[in-house]
């Protein structure tokens, strides 16, 4: 938290921060928790409602994105990108959708092609927010590194000047987790990414347990470098939500 406050102190003087945005990323384990063991479905929804996000990227939603939006509240809408495996859901009283689309991420695995959804919003504070959501392949380090480079290309193509960029997703970075080539590239630590992002969880929790899936940290909420992060949390509690996904939901509150 000290680092987040330091960033706030640096940037508030020169940037139009002031409004807060609540973010969530959640792999919903849809084939199981919304399919073969659909009794878990309400527990997924409880988990999301507890976070009360303004903007969320979900993965493995498996066509249940509209059901999810309706279940978490009447204030939520879905970004229609024609893709059912992952989705962006947003609070329409806080965010107005201006444009959206879907881009292919070229590396794939046994489950086929991977994609990234992009969306351009205007917040009620008049700040622009550009959200990107993805679920990368279960691949080796080299392929995931290429996928991260592709994500940077898509972000560069669809972000607007002066916007706040958010990237959510399950990156499947089992070959190194936070020290994987893909994450280091996205953070600007490897390969010359000209638009580095920060892991919001690490800004707020420099030494906290970042595990989001048994074994390590593969799910992320990344944001533009220097955006103040007021809190970030990995929701590992099983009570009162009950058994739900095989991933833990991750949330963050940033200043925009």
180 neighbors 211 (Cβ within 8 angstroms) = no
- Total domains in the chain come to 1
185: left (phi over 0), alpha (psi -120 to 50) or beta: alpha
Domain membership of residue 16 (yes or no) is: no
Domain membership of residue 81 (yes or no) is: yes
Q: Which residues contact 59 (CB under 8 A, 6 or more apart)?
A: 25, 26, 27, 28, 85, 86, 133, 134, 135, 169, 170
- Please give the model's pTM, rounded to 2 decimal places: 0.93
Domain membership of residue 232 (yes or no) is: yes
In terms of Cα–Cα distance, which of 95, 101, 69 is closest to 83?
101
Dihedral sign for Cα atoms in the order 236, 242, 245, 251: negative
Q: Each residue of 51-85: pLDDT tens digit?
A: 999 999 999 999 999 999 999 999 999 999 999 99
168 neighbors 23 (Cβ within 8 angstroms) = yes
Q: Which range of residues forms the domain containing residue 71?
A: 2-11+25-255
The CATH number covering residue 247 comes to 3.60.10.10
Q: Each residue of 188-242: pLDDT tens digit?
A: 999 989 999 999 999 999 999 999 999 999 999 999 999 999 999 999 876 678 9
Domain membership of residue 20 (yes or no) is: no
**Residue 13 in this model has a pLDDT that exceeds 50:** no
**Residue 11 in this model has a pLDDT that exceeds 50:** no
Q: Each residue of 170-192: pLDDT tens digit?
A: 999 999 999 999 999 999 999 98
Domain membership of residue 17 (yes or no) is: no
């Amino acid at each position: 938290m000290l680092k987040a406050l330091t960033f706030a102190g640096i940037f508030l003087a020169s940037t139009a921060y002031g409004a807060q945005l609540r973010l969530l990323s959640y792999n919903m384990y849809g084939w199981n928790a919304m399919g073969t063991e659909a009794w878990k479905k309400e527990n997924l929804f409880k988990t999301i409602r507890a976070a009360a996000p303004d903007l969320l990227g979900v993965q493995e939603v498996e066509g249940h994105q509209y059901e999810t939006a309706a279940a978490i509240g009447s204030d939520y809408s879905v970004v229609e990108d024609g893709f059912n495996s992952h989705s962006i859901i947003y609070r329409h009283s806080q965010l107005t959708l201006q444009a959206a689309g879907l881009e292919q991420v070229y590396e794939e695995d046994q489950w086929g092609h991977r994609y990234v959804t992009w969306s351009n919003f205007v917040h009620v504070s008049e700040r622009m927010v550009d959200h990107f959501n993805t679920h990368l392949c279960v691949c080796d380090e080299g392929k995931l590194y290429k996928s991260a480079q592709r994500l940077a290309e898509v972000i560069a193509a669809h972000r607007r000047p002066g916007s706040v960029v958010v990237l959510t997703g399950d990156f499947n970075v089992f070959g190194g987790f936070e020290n994987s080539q893909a994450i280091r590239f996205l953070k600007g630590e490897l390969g010359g990414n000209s638009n580095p992002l920060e892991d919001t969880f690490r800004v707020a929790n420099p030494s906290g347990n970042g595990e989001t899936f048994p074994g390590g940290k593969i799910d992320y909420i990344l944001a533009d470098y220097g955006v103040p992060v007021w809190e970030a949390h990995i929701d590992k509690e099983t009570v009162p939500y009950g058994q739900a996904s095989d991933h833990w939901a991750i949330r963050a509150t940033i200043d925009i």
